Amino acid sequence: MTLTIDHLYIAVGLLLASVAVMNLLDRSNPRRVTTALFWGLYATLYLAGERIAPAWIGALMIAMALLAGFGGVRAGKPSVLSDEARRASAARLGNRLFIPALLLPLVTVLGATVFKDVRIGALPLLDPAHLTLVSLGCGALAALLSACWLTRATPLQGVREARRLIDAMSWAVVLPHVLAVLGLLFSETGVGKAVAHLVTSYIGLETRFIAVAVFCLGMALFTIVMGNGFAAFPVMAGGVGIPVLVGVFGANPALMAAIGMFSAYCGTLMTPMAANFNIVPAALLELPDKNAVIRAQIPTALPLLVANIFLLYFLMNL
Amino acid sequence: MDSSVNLWPLLGVAVVVAGFLLRANPVLVAVAACGVTGAAAAMPFVALLESLGNAFVKTRNLPLILLLPVAAIGLLERYGLRDRAQAAIARVKSATAGRLLIVYLFARESTAALGLTSLGGHPNMVRPLVAPMAEAAAEAQYGPLPDRLRYRIRAMSAATDNVGLFFGEDIFVAFGAIVLMHTILQAEGIEVDPLHIALWGIPTAISAFIIHAWNLRRLDAQLRRELGAAGAATPVVEKGVA
């Protein structure tokens, strides 16, 4: 038997369904019914997504956005250990607490490297198409089981703690997912082509330095709009990088590609559209300002973008 | 203007920009932008719903990286993982928030460059370990932190993970971005060795490390400036539980 991503979908679906049920039964949650509905709909996507007609899934996504947008997704009052009990537990367990925490990345890396080619009979052990995620699933399971063994807690307590964290992040959990849908719709309707058209038809690219600057800034700007450097790269490389920088000014294509992609990443650091890197961590770290991570990254992203322009300009004909 | 390019779908981008500026709920903004983009591209309503539904199912793998670790991490937090991490760092006398994050930046960027991108991450490293340790290092130096600076340290911890990951992973030759770049250049008839793309990423990777490390030193300077007088003489040790 192969461990596939579908097993992970079922596990995550069951986790989200538990979050829904726990919220429904929790009278300390001021919006327990709408909150339960939100997580229940999301659980449905994971448990039965491929068996429901796509139009209904689209409607489900809109319903979730309305629930989130009008304040329907709230948290209950989590039951945590008292400060003294938690510190006593930290002192009792000592550095052993780090073992499950480190097991998580360790098992993930082992799965993605050592167990990559392990087969049981004719079938691979881990789904090769989603190797990293399936390995992460194994790592998460190993970490959970070892944490239960270490703390003598039940796996159900693990689910309760997962609910506490998911409740704290609230709708930010689904934001990267919804933005990815928007990104796909943008490419389907030709938003990329329209942006590239605007960039290339209104700016003169006859000067080498201006062409380099337009290429790097365009990558960053496009990524800020789309939230994803992978969406920006084909458009800007196809519109400016290959025809102008390589074609006219004879730039080294490997350098053009490398610095172009890194310029796109500078954009990723500055956009709320890249929610999984910028907005989710703000929710995860319980920051009141959802843009705090972006604010912390701008002083790195802007100088680095300028550095990229000069690196590309001076190294392009080496 | 070239009439073959339809500029109307750009209205969707305008909705996103306006929504984020007005600080409306981002999930609602994203879905509203979907509606406007679809309408601007003259998609029939049901076709738009189907397109959204297909995309929502297809991208289900995205939240896994966030949702899979939460049970284990939450359980460890309940039993004191963060307290333990803070106690460990509070004993290192020379530790400051900025220095600790520079060490993490180096570790994150160099392991990502070796392809070990899952060694870090926000749910499994930053929340339970990196951010609490950076806070504890500052507390050991200056005593209790005001919320504003505590949030700033946390935001810098998340930023450090992102910078290390982004500018490290792209110099690993088997990473998806390199494959994408190679494929696109090939489609345009340009043959390059993927290894060269990876190697030409190194100057930017080094610049990223220098610039972000400098910003982390500025974080230390900010803490010193705003807290220095108050706390230097009274290091907090009772936070430690060892």
Asked if B171 and A265 touch (Cβ cutoff 8 Å), the reply is: no
Query: CA dihedral in degrees (A85, A86, A89, A94; nearest 10)?
Result: -150
Q: Do B12 and A233 touch (CB under 8 A)?
A: no
Nearest to A12 among B67, B163, B218 (CB): B67
pLDDT digits (tens, 9 = 90+) for A250-260: 999 999 999 99
Whether residue B231 is predicted with pLDDT greater than 80 in this model: the reply is no
Q: Which residue of A has its CA nearest to B9?
A: A191
DSSP state of A239: I
- Interval A139-150 mean pLDDT: 95
Looking at the complex, report in whole angstroms how far the Cα of residue A28 sits from the nearest Cα belonging to chain B: 20
Question: pLDDT-derived band of residue B180, with 50, 70 and 90 as boundaries?
Answer: confident
Q: Kindly state the greatest CA–CA separation across chain B.
A: 71
Question: pLDDT-derived band of residue B174, with 50, 70 and 90 as boundaries?
Answer: low
Report yes or no: A62 at the B interface, CB cutoff 8 Å. Answer: yes
Cβ–Cβ contacts within 10 Å for residue A238, how many? 16
For residue B99, give Cα distances in angstroms to B113, B149, B159: 21, 16, 15
pLDDT digits (tens, 9 = 90+) for A16-59: 999 999 999 999 999 999 999 999 999 999 999 999 999 999 99
Q: Which tokens in the block code for residue A135?
A: 């390995």
The predicted structure's pLDDT at residue B230: 54
- A155 neighbourhood in chain B, CB within 8 Å: 71
pLDDT digits (tens, 9 = 90+) for B144-166: 999 999 999 999 999 999 999 99
Write out the DSSP string of B167-216.
HHHTTSTTSHHHHHHHHHHHHTT----HHHHHHTTHHHHHHHHHHHHHHH
From chain A residues 247-276, the ones with a CB under 8 A of any chain B CB are 252-255, 257-262, 265, 268-269, 272-273, 275-276
The predicted structure's pLDDT at residue B1: 43
Whether residue B235 is predicted with pLDDT greater than 80 in this model: the reply is no
Q: Do A95 and B181 touch (CB under 8 A)?
A: no
Q: Do B34 and A181 touch (CB under 8 A)?
A: yes
Q: Do A190 and B83 touch (CB under 8 A)?
A: no
> Which site among A70, A81, A131, A161 would you substitute to test the B interface, given the most B Cβ atoms closer than 10 Å to its Cβ?
A161
Least confident of A94-108, A225-239, B128-142: A225-239
Integer Cα distance of A257 and A4 in angstroms: 33
What is chain B's mean pLDDT, rounded? 88
Q: Classify the complex by whether its ipTM is higher than 0.90, answering yes or no.
A: no
Report yes or no: A121 at the B interface, CB cutoff 8 Å. Answer: no
Least confident of A90-99, A235-244, A259-268: A235-244
Nearest to A201 among B2, B126, B215 (CB): B2
What is chain A's mean pLDDT, rounded? 91
C-alpha distance across the termini of chain B, in Å:
70
- A194 neighbourhood in chain B, CB within 8 Å: 5-7, 9-10
Question: pLDDT-derived band of residue A62, with 50, 70 and 90 as boundaries?
Answer: very high
Whether residue B107 is predicted with pLDDT greater than 80 in this model: the reply is yes
Q: Do B84 and A259 touch (CB under 8 A)?
A: no
- A91 neighbourhood in chain B, CB within 8 Å: 80, 241-242
SS3 state of residue A3: strand
Q: Which residue of A has its CA nearest to B186?
A: A253
Amino acid symbol at B117: T
For residue B215, give Cα distances in angstroms to B100, B160, B210: 13, 10, 9
Whether residue A200 is predicted with pLDDT greater than 80 in this model: the reply is no
Nearest to B27 among A46, A112, A174 (CB): A174
pLDDT digits (tens, 9 = 90+) for B186-227: 888 888 888 889 899 999 999 999 999 999 999 999 999 999
- A236 neighbourhood in chain B, CB within 8 Å: none
> Which site among B4, B13, B25, B27 would you substitute to test the A interface, given the most A Cβ atoms closer than 10 Å to its Cβ?
B27
pTM here? Answer: 0.85
Integer Cα distance of B135 and B153 in angstroms: 7
- Interval A281-306 mean pLDDT: 95
The predicted structure's pLDDT at residue A210: 92
Helix and strand numbers, DSSP H then E, in chain B: 12, 0
The predicted structure's pLDDT at residue B237: 45
Nearest to B59 among A88, A93, A181 (CB): A181
The predicted structure's pLDDT at residue B241: 40
Residue A90's nearest CA partner among B2, B16, B242, B104 is B242
Q: Which residue of B has its CA nearest to A106?
A: B119
Looking at the complex, report in whole angstroms how far the Cα of residue A207 sits from the nearest Cα belonging to chain B: 23
The predicted structure's pLDDT at residue B181: 87
- Interval A256-265 mean pLDDT: 95
Question: pLDDT-derived band of residue B28, with 50, 70 and 90 as boundaries?
Answer: very high
Q: Which residue of A has its CA nearest to B17?
A: A225
SS3 state of residue A108: helix
Question: pLDDT-derived band of residue B229, with 50, 70 and 90 as boundaries?
Answer: low
Report yes or no: A156 at the B interface, CB cutoff 8 Å. Answer: no
Integer Cα distance of B59 and A176 in angstroms: 10
Report yes or no: A309 at the B interface, CB cutoff 8 Å. Answer: no
Q: Do B83 and A139 touch (CB under 8 A)?
A: no
Q: Which residue of A has its CA nearest to B157?
A: A293
Report yes or no: A20 at the B interface, CB cutoff 8 Å. Answer: no
Whether residue A290 is predicted with pLDDT greater than 70 in this model: the reply is yes
Q: Do A269 and B116 touch (CB under 8 A)?
A: no
> Which site among A14, A163, A179, A306 would you substitute to test the B interface, given the most B Cβ atoms closer than 10 Å to its Cβ?
A179
> Which site among B66, B104, B127 would you substitute to test the A interface, given the most A Cβ atoms closer than 10 Å to its Cβ?
B66
pLDDT digits (tens, 9 = 90+) for A71-120: 999 998 888 899 999 999 999 999 999 999 989 988 988 888 888 888 88
Integer Cα distance of A51 and A71 in angstroms: 30
- Interval A294-314 mean pLDDT: 97
